[in-house]
Structure 1
Amino acid sequence: MKDSCVHIYCGDGKGKTTAAMGLCIRAAGSGKKVVIYQFLKNNTTSEIDSLNRIPNITRIEGKDKMKFTFTMTEEEKEELKNYYNEKFKEIVDFVQKTNAELLFLDEIIYAILNNVFEEENLIEFLNKKPKTLEVVLTGRNPSEELIELADYVSEIKKIKHPFEKGIPSRKGIEN
């Protein structure tokens, strides 16, 4: 029997991060040590203040300023890729050092899709991760290899979104 699993929340619908954060809160509430890192997001999302107050959750800080990848030059993307590949090593070391039981890598799949993180690093980690470490991944369009490695894959499909009516993201709801 497997001690821990890999979860993927993917799709074009809203709620991937929200679902994964709910799992993190549930795990922390049961006494598990949780580590969260958010790719492609700055340190200003609305959930941060709440997460910082929950016992058993450690949120690793990311970059303070973050542009959308579609507005980045190739040089900026390459710089971000180097940053994320190094940051990932730090995260893995921290998880192992602290014996974390759940690691949430928010938008890592989207970072792979946008070529600012190397999928091979994630796959190697997932194949060698501690047996007691649950891993949660979010983002759009996971590769077939990631889907094969995962134990849970949940797709969140957009049927309708207020952005289509010109309503921008709202604090506390979408960001």
Structure 2
Amino acid sequence: MIQVYTGNGKGKSTAAFGMALRALGAGQRVYIAQFVKNMRYSECFIEDYFQDRLKIEQWGASCLLNREATDEDYAMAERGLDRCATLLRNREGEMYDLIILDELNIALYMKLLPLEKVLDALKSIDGDREVIITGRYAPSELLALADLVTDMQEVKHYYQKGVLSRKGFDC
């Protein structure tokens, strides 16, 4: 199954990590690829507690908020997609029950990855793997391929009151 969490509201990655926690609680193995991220946010530290069943890898060169993408950004995203495509096809060796492609939609929106290559990787899923894709701006082709789509809409956010990201809750 392919799930997509998109929209302008908060909680897309949070929901995906909640599913990861649920899968880990059920004894499953989880792989999380974080695209366009390169800092160890609080969620990355849970890997220390589930070393044998959880792997988190980041596929971003550095923050892209206020700059143009570089060759390194494109190369990192491409390597991340290649890694994920391999894991999606694996029937032996390194296998995961849940594969999360965190902020993949942002990587697509920023044109760091070709949409066709992403769709081909997703169409090659072998076995009963669950895949969750997060990020704003999910392309319509990805929504059409998905089995479940959640569009998170912002109604109210404490950031509008000047509250910045809080460690353990937002970052």
C-alpha distance in 1 between matches for 2:129 and 2:73: 27
Q: Which residue of 67, 71, 81 corresponds with 1:72?
A: 67
Report the RMSD for the aligned CA atoms in angstroms: 1.8
- Report the AA paired with residue 13 of structure 1: G
Q: Calculate the TM-score normalised by the size of structure 2.
A: 0.88
2:85 paired residue number: 92
Pairing of 1:25-174 with structure 2 (within 5 A): 25-54=21-50, 55-63=52-60, 66-69=62-65, 71-74=66-69, 76=70, 78-94=71-87, 96=90, 97-174=93-170
How far residue 98 of structure 1 moved from its aligned partner, in angstroms, is 1.2
Instruction: Name the TM-score, length of structure 1 as normaliser.
Output: 0.87
The residue type paired with residue 40 of structure 2 is T
Structure 1: distance between partners of 2:116 and 2:105: 12
Q: CA deviation at 1:94?
A: 4.4
- Which runs of no fewer than 5 residues in structure 2 stay unpaired? none
Equivalenced residues, count: 167
CA displacement, residues 137-157 of structure 1 (integer Å, 9 cap, x when unaligned)? 001121111011000101111
Aligned partners of 2:59 and 2:79 also within 8 Å: no
Percent of aligned positions with the same letter in both sequences?
29
Q: Which amino acid aligns with 2:77?
A: Y
Contact 2:100 2:131 in 1 (8 A): yes
The one-letter amino acid paired with 1:131 is G
The CA deviation at 1:114 is 1.3
Q: Structure 1 residue runs of 4+, over 6 Å off?
A: none
